Amino acid sequence: MSHHEQTASARKSLLLIAALLLAFALPLPARTEDKKVDSSLDLIPADAAFYGAMLRNREQVDAIANSKVWARLTKLPYYQMGLSLLKQQYEHSGDFAAIRQSMRQPENRDLLNLLSDAVSTEVFCYGGGNWVDFLALLQELNAARYSELVQMLKNPQLIKGRKDTQNATVREILRALANNPDKLKFPDLVLGFKIKDTNKAEVQIKRLESFGEALAASQPMMQDRIKRVKVGDSRFLTLNLDGSMVPWDQIEWQDLEEKPGEFEGLRKNLKKLKLTLSLGVRHGFLLLALGPTTAGVAHLGGDGPRLASRPELKPLVRAAGRRLTGISYSSKALAVQMATTAEDIDNWTAVAKQFLEAAEVPEQRRKAILKDVSALASDLKKTLTPPGASLSFSYLTPRGYEGYDYQYGEFPDRDSTQSLTLLNHVGGNPIFAVVGRSKGTLGRYQTLAKWIKIIYGHVEPVVLEKLGEDGETKQKYQEVAKLVLPLLKQLDNITATMLLPSLADEQSGFVFDAQWKSKQWHPGLPFDKELPMPELAFLVGVSDRALLEKAMKAYAKLIEDALTTAKENLPPDAQPPFTKLPQPQVKTVPSGKLYLWRLPQEWQLDRRVALTAGLSEKVGLIALSAEHAERLLASKPLKVEGGPLADRKRPLTGACYFNWPGLVDAISSWLIFALEQAPLEKPLPGGEDKKQRQELIRHVRAVFDAMKAIRVSTSATYIQDGALITHSEVVIRDE
């Protein structure tokens, strides 16, 4: 080895030793999987059907109470006056005497302090996995409501053979209950409240226990139903209820049963039905639980995997270091239970078959219809996507609030591969704007059109058959169909071959603003100052401008053809007012062209109000004025400072922007104007009424200014790692 190689080798060895020493000397970063969310989440079992938590409640209230905005509001004379009146009412009014007397007792003051403490730090709600079975039972009960109706339609003789047809639905519901004895139980529900002093909570529970014992002593039905039960290392106060307390034997079961003893087993199960209410302190939480037993409480913090270990919760675990304010979760099993399934579609098909048989549709026609019903069911099944769990959480930031919403599953109709260029065409700083991009619109339209034609093909023969005896009506129907059907065929052709292909970009959006102002929107509304009016606009992304223009001309011709047909065939008293559409005023602007249709002068509206279509190479829109249309057609970046929409080139499937101060300004202008113009019932002498009005307006302005502390809300939606993710932010400035 040469001297140079030896030197290089020694240098590498020294660098390796230095790197190892540095690695041991520096603190290791915390592993993601070792992070824990500082909340009740660590107690929740992995099989939870749903879970939600509100955190840092007192911290958020204190932030408002200590803000500059709130300080300004509390200094207002009307606020001070109202506060003084409330205090005086409480201290001296007889209406509050009972409350004042109650608050003199230390134990009641302790109860009030406990309740305040309970909602200050964290409140959570947890539903056990048995909620899935419970919802399944509810769905079966709902389906049972219609089962008897189908049977009665299928066999009308059943109606004549029953003493009371109103019991039919009840009977089917009871049968559904009888067929699902394993699901006939109350699901577990637990409400939890984080508390600082568990001893004070135990004292209040003891007070409630004493009240319950006194109640049990006076009510024989409550004997031995209120007791203490050990749950882990805690003792919970429980109230045990069961089905034996319900007078089931007073029900006339024989009127509901078609066979003697049909519901005997159900009656026994209903009498065994149990509901336990539990109240106690465990894991630093005051817990109130409902369920068949205390198992729902026992599972919290018990053995087995936790909800935080589920893969759907990974985004929340990664956010464990944030100042979380809210968490919401629902399981995949719950989503599957609530979603439409292939089995549901098969059931609908079976119901359709029963209805056709009950309606005595001829066999040949019934077979043809059922064949298409099966094909429709097949098409519907293709649109089904497996549902998944959902997760959302929010947290405090120096700018306000930020949050994420995760919807797991498949989203074949959403496109998250491109940026939303329409965000550059919402006017820069509107009051509200929402933009999104879908995919497969043309295919969905073609499927819809196909089934409309198929359904019509089955309905028309039935209609003609029903009209068979009325030759004149049948002839009129055929004449109308002969005129209308070609027009509908043209409408379908234009939409499928021109409009939707020209909008293959599949972006769309809606904008709400209020930047235009006028002193006289209408002669009946004369103002002495300019006031804003709403500006509405709908936008689409354009892929083929020439094809879109061709589609619009084809639609215009189709409408004129329809009007001409109506004029030629309708009686004189039903003639359309015109057969030619009014030609728009065409205005060329730097970004494209505007097409204006002025409103009739007799409407006496401000002349700026005009239905306006705007078109450029990439954008099409409809607005209520040329001013708004031109503003949107021009490319102008959305006015945001950071947040989810800071990167305009980011691929998204949806975006939303809400300018709260803009809305407040638009509303406050009208309200303050109304206050300035409103007559006083009893004018005060010496100009005092004017001073009073000005003082009221000053207070109203102060309230509206305070509301503008919420600056802007933005959200961005995209697809990533099998989830539809919405990242949102609310910016708040305490100025």
Comparing CA positions, the residue from 401, 399, 353, 394 lying closest to residue 377 is 353
Amino acid at 139: Q
Q: Are 240 and 276 in contact (CB under 8 A)?
A: yes
| 103-138 residue pLDDT tens | 889 999 999 999 999 999 999 999 999 999 999 999
CA distance 280 to 228: 10
Strand ranges inside 341-455, DSSP E: 387-397, 400-409, 432-437
Comparing CA positions, the residue from 424, 426, 433, 434 lying closest to residue 637 is 424
Comparing CA positions, the residue from 375, 344, 373 lying closest to residue 146 is 344
- Copy the structure tokens of residue 688: 């005092």
User: C-alpha 677: how far from its chain's center?
Assistant: 39
CA distance 655 to 485: 40
Q: Are 664 and 704 in contact (CB under 8 A)?
A: yes
Amino acid at 1: M
**In which residue ranges of the chain is pLDDT below 50?**
1-34, 158-163
3-state secondary structure 668-683: HHHHHHHHHHCCCCCC
CA distance 168 to 518: 64
User: C-alpha 478: how far from its chain's center?
Assistant: 45
CA distance 644 to 653: 13
CA distance 665 to 662: 5
Exposure of 112 by Cβ count < 10 A (0-12 exposed, 13-18 middle, 19+ buried)? exposed
Q: 3-class SS at 163?
A: coil
DSSP per-residue string spanning 626-685: HHHHHHHHS-------SSTTS-TTSB-SEEEEEEHHHHHHHHHHHHHHHHHHPPPSSPPG
Comparing CA positions, the residue from 351, 486, 318, 417 lying closest to residue 649 is 417
- Copy the structure tokens of residue 182: 């394993």
Report in angstroms the alpha-carbon separations of 481 from 476, 484, 562, 629, 679.
8, 5, 13, 39, 60
Phi-psi sector, 281: left (phi>0), alpha (psi -120 to 50), beta = beta
Q: Which residues pair with 625 in a beta bridge?
A: 609
CA distance 345 to 367: 18
Q: Are 675 and 692 in contact (CB under 8 A)?
A: no
pLDDT at 648: 85
| 505-550 residue pLDDT tens | 999 999 999 998 888 787 777 677 888 999 999 999 999 999 999 9
At 386, phi and psi to the nearest 5?
Answer: -65, 125
CA distance 430 to 512: 7
Q: How many helices (H) and strands (E) does the chain have?
A: 23, 22
Residues across the chain: 735
- Long-range contacts from 220-226, C-beta under 8 angstroms, 24+ separation: 221/245
| Sign of the CA dihedral running 5, 11, 13, 15 | negative
Comparing CA positions, the residue from 395, 332, 414, 345 lying closest to residue 375 is 345
Q: 3-class SS at 321?
A: coil
Residue with tokens 């947890």: 126
CA distance 122 to 72: 29
- Copy the structure tokens of residue 673: 């104007």
CA distance 471 to 373: 31
- Residues in Cβ contact with 118 at an 8 Å cutoff, skipping those fewer than 6 apart: 193, 194, 195, 286
Instruction: Give the CA count within 13 Å in the CB-facing half-sphere of 1.
Output: 8
Report in angstroms the alpha-carbon separations of 660 from 705, 707, 726.
11, 8, 20
First CA to last CA distance, the chain: 72
Amino acid at 76: L
Q: Are 635 and 621 in contact (CB under 8 A)?
A: no
DSSP per-residue string spanning 10-64: HHHHHHHHHHHHHHHHSPPPPPGGG---SSGGGGSBTT-SEEEEEE-HHHHHHHH
- Copy the structure tokens of residue 49: 């059907």
Give, to the nearest 10 degrees, the angle between helix 471-494 and helix 441-466: 170
- Copy the structure tokens of residue 228: 């203490």
Q: Are 342 and 350 in contact (CB under 8 A)?
A: no
CA distance 703 to 172: 57
CA distance 281 to 289: 11
CA distance 719 to 526: 51
Give, to the nearest 10 degrees, the angle between helix 131-154 and helix 167-178: 140
Phi-psi sector, 506: left (phi>0), alpha (psi -120 to 50), beta = left
DSSP classification of residue 572: G
| 130-164 residue pLDDT tens | 999 999 999 888 877 766 655 655 555 544 444 45
CA distance 621 to 548: 12
DSSP per-residue string spanning 184-198: -SPPPEEEEEE-S-H
CA distance 709 to 732: 6
- Copy the structure tokens of residue 258: 């078609």
- Copy the structure tokens of residue 389: 């769990």
